[in-house]
């Protein structure tokens, strides 16, 4: 019997690549997007069904899950991929910007997770895969709000796994490093003060160094392959780091003191 996976945020990047991987493996793939009517890449893919889903809209989440259950009977895996990044000087972040970032990356993920639990508990199990980030375990300059959301996802997921084990529901965290996606393009929101140039020199140094890092970044396909590995891994492993140099940096964060790690980051960005 074919397994069924529901993936959020499939219009580009990691989400889109994940649809392709699971479709190629013969799964029933429920690809969800805010505006599915604009999607053209999935037309000729076998086993792919496209539903509207906005993680900030609870009714759209409920509708997508109801349609999936009605058409496929159960959901074996849910991938919480929808999200975007805000970076820049925290001083310039308005309440509206902060709330929007958390509403998508944290509260939206929680809404989908809650719906997945209700479905999987009734069908005696499944896996919920949260697309976190190496930025959920380590930090870099100018990403304070984004890091705050990913740290929240890590803590939320780690705690939740205790109560869901009794229902045979596995919680997984995929932690990508730098990946070439629209996260650094149209999905990016950069913020800085408009009434002061106090941060300009700092931002310029960081941006120059960050662009060099992205030149060596891997594509979203490596993350999609890791998501498939997590979905088919029956062990109790929770975290899956992927995307160089993410896995190495996560190891260094464990081994180095705060002082040494902060020094390394500052040196890397010429700060």
Question: Model confidence over 221-271: pLDDT tens digits?
Answer: 999 999 999 999 989 999 999 999 999 999 999 999 999 999 999 999 888
The answer to whether 88 touches 15, Cβ cutoff 8 Å, is no
Domains of the chain (ranges; CATH) run 4-268 (3.40.50.720)
Confidence of residue 180 (pLDDT cuts 50, 70, 90): confident
Residues classed as catalytic: 132, 146, 150
Q: Does position 189 have pLDDT exceeding 90, yes or no? A: no
What average pLDDT does the structure give for the chain? 94
- pTM, whole model, 2 decimals? 0.95
pLDDT of res. 186: 57
User: Residue 184 above 70 pLDDT?
Assistant: no
DSSP letter at 219 equals P
Q: How far apart are CA 193 and CA 189, in angstroms?
A: 14
- How far apart are the C-alpha atoms of 49 and 68, rounded to whole Å? 9
Would you tell me how many other CB atoms lie within 10 Å of the CB of residue 271?
Answer: 12
Distance, in Å, from the CA atom of 201 to the CA atom of 184, rounded to the nearest integer, reads 21
Three-class HEC string of 45-61: CCCEEEEECCCCCHHHH
Residue 12 tokens read as 């580009």
Helix 13-24 and helix 221-232, axial crossing angle in degrees, nearest 10: 50
The average pLDDT across 181-190 equals: 66
How far is residue 259 CA from its own chain's centroid?
A: 28
Question: Which ranges of 90-245 does DSSP label H, i.e. alpha helix?
Answer: 95-102, 109-122, 144-164, 200-215, 221-232
Mean pLDDT value of segment 58-75:
98
Cα–Cα distance measured from residue 7 to residue 80, given in angstroms and rounded to the nearest whole number: 6
> Which of 6-10, 36-40, 141-145 shows the lowest mean pLDDT across its residues?
36-40
**pLDDT, position 182:** 66
Rounded to whole angstroms, the Cα distance separating 145 from 77 reads: 28
- pLDDT for 14: 96
Interatomic CA distance for residues 50 and 36, integer angstroms: 7
Q: Model confidence over 103-120: pLDDT tens digits?
A: 999 999 999 999 999 999
At 5, list the tokens. 């996976």
Secondary structure letter of residue 137 according to DSSP: T
């Amino acid at each position: 019997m074919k397994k069924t996976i529901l993936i959020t945020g499939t219009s580009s990047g990691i989400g889109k690549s994940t649809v392709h991987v699971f479709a190629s493996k013969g799964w029933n793939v429920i690809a969800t997007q805010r505006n599915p009517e604009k999607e053209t890449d999935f037309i000729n893919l076998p086993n792919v069904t496209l539903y509207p889903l906005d993680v900030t809209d609870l009714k759209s989440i409920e509708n997508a899950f109801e349609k999936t259950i009605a058409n496929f009977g159960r959901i074996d895996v849910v991938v919480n991929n929808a999200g975007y990044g805000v970076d820049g000087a925290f001083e310039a972040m308005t309440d509206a910007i902060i709330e929007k970032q958390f509403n998508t990356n944290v509260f939206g993920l929680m809404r989908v997770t809650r719906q997945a639990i209700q479905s999987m508990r009734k069908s005696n199990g499944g896996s919920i895969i949260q697309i976190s980030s190496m930025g959920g375990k380590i930090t870099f300059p100018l990403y304070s709000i984004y890091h705050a959301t990913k740290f929240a996802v890590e803590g939320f997921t780690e705690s939740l796994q205790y109560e869901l084990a009794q229902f045979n529901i596995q919680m997984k965290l995929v932690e990508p490093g730098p990946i070439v996606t629209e996260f650094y393009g149209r999905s990016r929101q950069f913020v800085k003060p408009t009434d002061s140039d106090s941060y300009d020199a700092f931002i310029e140094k960081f941006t120059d160094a960050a662009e060099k890092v992205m030149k060596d970044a891997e594509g979203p396909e490596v993350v999609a392959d890791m998501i498939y590995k997590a979905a088919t891994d029956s062990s109790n492993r929770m975290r899956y780091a992927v995307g160089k140099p993410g896995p190495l940096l996560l190891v260094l964060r464990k081994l180095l003191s705060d002082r040494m790690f902060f020094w390394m980051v500052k040196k890397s960005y010429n700060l």
